[in-house]
Chain A
Amino acid sequence: MSNEVLVDADWAVAHLADPKVVFVEVDEDTAAYDTNHIAGAIKFNWRTDLQDGTRRDFVSKAGFEALLSKNGIANDDTVVLYGGNNNWFAAYAFWYFKLYGHQDVRLLDGGRKKWELDGRELVAEVPARAATTYVATEQDRTLRAFRDDVLKAIGTQNLVDVRSPDEYAGRLLAPAHLPQEASQVGGHIPTAANIPWSKAANEDGTFKSIDELKALYTGAGVDLGKDTIAYCRIGERSAHTWFVLHELLGVKNVKNYDGSWTEYGSLVGVPVALGDEPGNA
Chain B
Amino acid sequence: MSSCGAVVGGVSLDRVDVSTQAVIQGVVQKDGEPVKVGYVRLLDSGNEFTAEVPVSTAGEFRFFAAAGTWTVVALVPGGSARASVTAELGKIADIDVLVA
B41, A178: Cβ atoms closer than 8 Å: no
B21, A179: Cβ atoms closer than 8 Å: yes
Q: How distant is A100 from chain B, measured CB to nearest CB, in Å?
A: 21
Query: Known: A165-B48, A233-B2. Is A177-B66 also a contact (CB below 8 A)?
Result: no
Quick check: is A171 within 8 A (CB to CB) of the other chain? yes
Please, how many angstroms separate the alpha-carbon atoms of A204 and B79 in the complex? 12
Return the chain B residue nearest A181 by Cβ.
Answer: B20
Please, how many angstroms separate the alpha-carbon atoms of A176 and B43 in the complex? 10
Task: List chain A residues, Cβ under 8 A from B5.
Answer: 27-29, 46, 84-85, 88-89
Query: Known: A166-B44, A171-B66, A176-B50. Is A113-B6 also a contact (CB below 8 A)?
Result: no
B41, A180: Cβ atoms closer than 8 Å: no
From B26-34, B51-59, B92-100, give the one contacting chain A: B51-59
Return the chain A residue nearest B1 by Cβ.
Answer: A56
Quick check: is A19 within 8 A (CB to CB) of the other chain? no
Task: List chain B residues, Cβ under 8 A from A196.
Answer: 48-49
Task: List chain A residues, Cβ under 8 A from B66.
Answer: 166, 171-172, 176, 180
Task: List chain A residues, Cβ under 8 A from B44.
Answer: 164-166
B53, A177: Cβ atoms closer than 8 Å: yes
B6, A84: Cβ atoms closer than 8 Å: yes
Please, how many angstroms separate the alpha-carbon atoms of A159 and B10 in the complex? 31
A179, B16: Cβ atoms closer than 8 Å: yes
Quick check: is A157 within 8 A (CB to CB) of the other chain? no
Would you list which residues of chain A between 183 and 237 have a CB under 8 Å from chain B? 196, 198-199, 203-204, 232-234, 236-237
A174, B52: Cβ atoms closer than 8 Å: no
Q: How distant is A151 from chain B, measured CB to nearest CB, in Å?
A: 21
B6, A177: Cβ atoms closer than 8 Å: yes
Quick check: is A86 within 8 A (CB to CB) of the other chain? yes
Task: List chain B residues, Cβ under 8 A from A56.
Answer: 1
Return the chain B residue nearest A120 by Cβ.
Answer: B77
Mind listing 17 A-B residue pairs with CB under 8 Å?
A27-B5, A32-B8, A51-B1, A84-B6, A88-B4, A88-B5, A116-B37, A165-B46, A175-B6, A179-B11, A180-B20, A180-B22, A181-B20, A182-B2, A203-B73, A234-B3, A262-B1
Q: Interface residues, chain B, CB within 8 Å of chain A?
A: 1-8, 10-11, 16, 20-22, 37, 39, 41-42, 44, 46, 48-54, 62-66, 73, 75-78, 80
